[in-house]
């Protein structure tokens, strides 16, 4: 994606600086756009643990680059692998990427290849998700007695008919939780991929952005991404989604995932489960977008088996932001002495999920559905 006219990825190996990994330091967004160099494996581990980089795909690929870096230093590969894998427990992409690098040999070229693959998977998710968006837009149009869409998705994808589509389509209202955007991957994102594809194709779209307390990835990162790309959006309190769904103001929910069990249970940012419950109660389709690097074939029952990260209470008890002069402050939100608990993810059972959008297409959230798309994976 672009920032101030320059194309960026979230993580890369700059050719002019050997033994260096370059990342966007997401802790500074949206107040500042900072690029950070990582030159030691321990710095890579710290960047993942302390969330300079975050999001399942992004931490996986950063760790892959970290393994390539380890191969050029005196840090034994097994030690580097253990260190990197220990940084965050829930997103399976991290262990997947590290184990992959150990298996095939940790080179810069292989890390680069994984980064390209991550982008290609997100792009394909965008294409498959766009078909769903078109179907829902068509259904909404029919319900309102508007003329059927005669433009093919292909034409729309290429940008043809942009204006015609905007005239005849009612706006599709999408709700998303956390940040499963380009910042959470190398580029493009998972949940945002169909959103960007729809917007670029001229399908009128508006995104309800859950603020996603306690770290506010929605309010700080997703809103920043959508604003940078010109996608109409509105930030809402985490508790507003159910109300909006009850009043017909949400046409679909789409989230990312940090780990998906082979039965189709989805671990994602805390609060996702409540959105799925509300969506089921209101008859709103609830989709999860994920690349296959997020599938954990070893895991059956997601609720019992997926490790949920507990993060520090200060994410909850304090908030950070600039004052009118742009000076950053951290303020306390909770009485001194009140303990706080901060489970960072929850698991949405497969039965609440309308479909999984992967790089190979859309399937039911079930073992049969997943094996239909990934036959030899079990």
Q: Which residues bind ligand MRU (CB under 6 A)?
A: 54-57, 178-180, 184, 190, 217, 255-258, 268-269, 344
* Count of Cβ atoms closer than 10 Å to residue 237 Cβ: 11
Asked if 258 is an active-site residue, the reply is: yes
Residue closer to ligand MRU (CB basis): 61 or 156: 61
Tell me if residue 64 falls in helix, strand or coil.
Answer: helix
Q: How far is the CB of 352 from ligand MRU (least distance, A)?
A: 16
In contact, 269 and 217? CB cutoff 8 Å: yes
Q: What is the DSSP string of 205-220?
A: EEEEEE--TTTTHIII
Q: How far is the CB of 179 from ligand MRU (least distance, A)?
A: 5
Residue 340, judged by CB atoms within 10 A of its CB (0-12, 13-18, 19+), counts as: middle
* Count of Cβ atoms closer than 10 Å to residue 155 Cβ: 16
Q: How far is the CB of 163 from ligand MRU (least distance, A)?
A: 33
Residue closer to ligand MRU (CB basis): 57 or 161: 57
Q: How far is the CB of 28 from ligand MRU (least distance, A)?
A: 15
Residue 292 CA to residue 284 CA, distance in Å, equals 25
Q: How far is the CB of 30 from ligand MRU (least distance, A)?
A: 15
Residue 238 CA to residue 222 CA, distance in Å, equals 14
Backbone angles phi, psi at 77, to 5 degrees: -60, -40
In contact, 359 and 124? CB cutoff 8 Å: yes
Q: How far is the CB of 295 from ligand MRU (least distance, A)?
A: 13
Residue closer to ligand MRU (CB basis): 173 or 176: 176
Catalytic residue among 258, 265, 296, 346: 258
Query: Which element (helix H / strand E) includes 322?
Result: strand 318-322
In contact, 193 and 290? CB cutoff 8 Å: no
Residue closer to ligand MRU (CB basis): 217 or 358: 217
Residue 36 CA to residue 26 CA, distance in Å, equals 10
In contact, 288 and 352? CB cutoff 8 Å: no
The interaxial angle of helices 108-143 and 92-104, nearest 10 deg, is 140
Residue 104 CA to residue 116 CA, distance in Å, equals 16
Residue closer to ligand MRU (CB basis): 169 or 255: 255
Token digits of residue 191: 């949940």
Residue 78 CA to residue 80 CA, distance in Å, equals 5
Residue closer to ligand MRU (CB basis): 151 or 266: 266
Q: How far is the CB of 269 from ligand MRU (least distance, A)?
A: 3
Residue closer to ligand MRU (CB basis): 75 or 191: 191
Please report, for residues 131, 215, 237, 262, the alpha-carbon distance to residue 313 in angstroms, rounded to integers and kept in the order given: 41, 11, 20, 32
Residues marked as catalytic: 258
């Amino acid at each position: 994606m672009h920032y101030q006219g320059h194309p960026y990825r979230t993580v890369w190996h700059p050719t002019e600086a050997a033994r260096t990994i370059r990342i966007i330091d997401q802790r500074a967004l949206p107040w500042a756009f900072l690029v950070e160099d990582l030159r030691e494996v321990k710095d890579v581990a710290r960047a993942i643990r302390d969330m300079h980089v975050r999001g399942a795909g992004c931490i996986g690929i950063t760790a892959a680059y970290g393994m390539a870096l380890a191969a050029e230093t005196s840090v034994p590969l097994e030690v580097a692998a253990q260190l990197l894998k220990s940084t965050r427990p829930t997103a399976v992409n991290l262990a997947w990427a590290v184990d992959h690098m150990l298996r095939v040999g940790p080179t810069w070229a292989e890390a680069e290849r994984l980064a390209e693959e991550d982008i290609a998977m997100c792009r394909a998710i965008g294409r498959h998700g766009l078909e769903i968006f078109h179907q829902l837009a068509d259904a909404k149009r029919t319900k309102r007695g508007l003329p059927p869409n005669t433009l093919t998705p292909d034409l729309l994808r290429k940008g043809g008919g942009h204006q015609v589509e905007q005239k005849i389509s009612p706006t599709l209202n999408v709700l998303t939780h956390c940040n499963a955007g380009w910042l959470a991957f190398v580029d493009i994102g998972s949940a945002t991929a169909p959103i960007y594809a729809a917007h670029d194709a001229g399908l009128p779209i508006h995104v309800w952005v859950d603020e996603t307390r306690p770290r506010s990835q929605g309010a700080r990162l997703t809103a920043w991404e959508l604003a940078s790309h010109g996608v109409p959006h509105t930030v809402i309190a985490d508790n507003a989604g159910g109300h909006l769904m009850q009043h017909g103001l949400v046409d679909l929910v789409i989230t990312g995932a940090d780990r998906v069990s082979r039965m189709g249970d989805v671990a994602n940012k805390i609060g996702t489960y409540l959105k799925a419950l509300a969506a089921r109660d209101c008859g709103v389709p609830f989709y999860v977008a994920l690349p296959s690097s997020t599938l954990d074939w070893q895991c059956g029952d997601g609720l019992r088996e997926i490790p949920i990260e507990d993060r520090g209470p200060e994410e909850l008890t304090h908030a950070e932001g600039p004052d009118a002069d742009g000076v950053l402050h951290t303020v306390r939100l909770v009485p001194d002495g009140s303990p706080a608990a901060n489970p960072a993810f929850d698991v949405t059972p497969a039965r609440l999920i309308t479909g999984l959008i992967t790089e190979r297409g859309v399937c039911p959230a079930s073992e049969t559905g997943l094996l239909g798309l990934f036959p030899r994976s079990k």
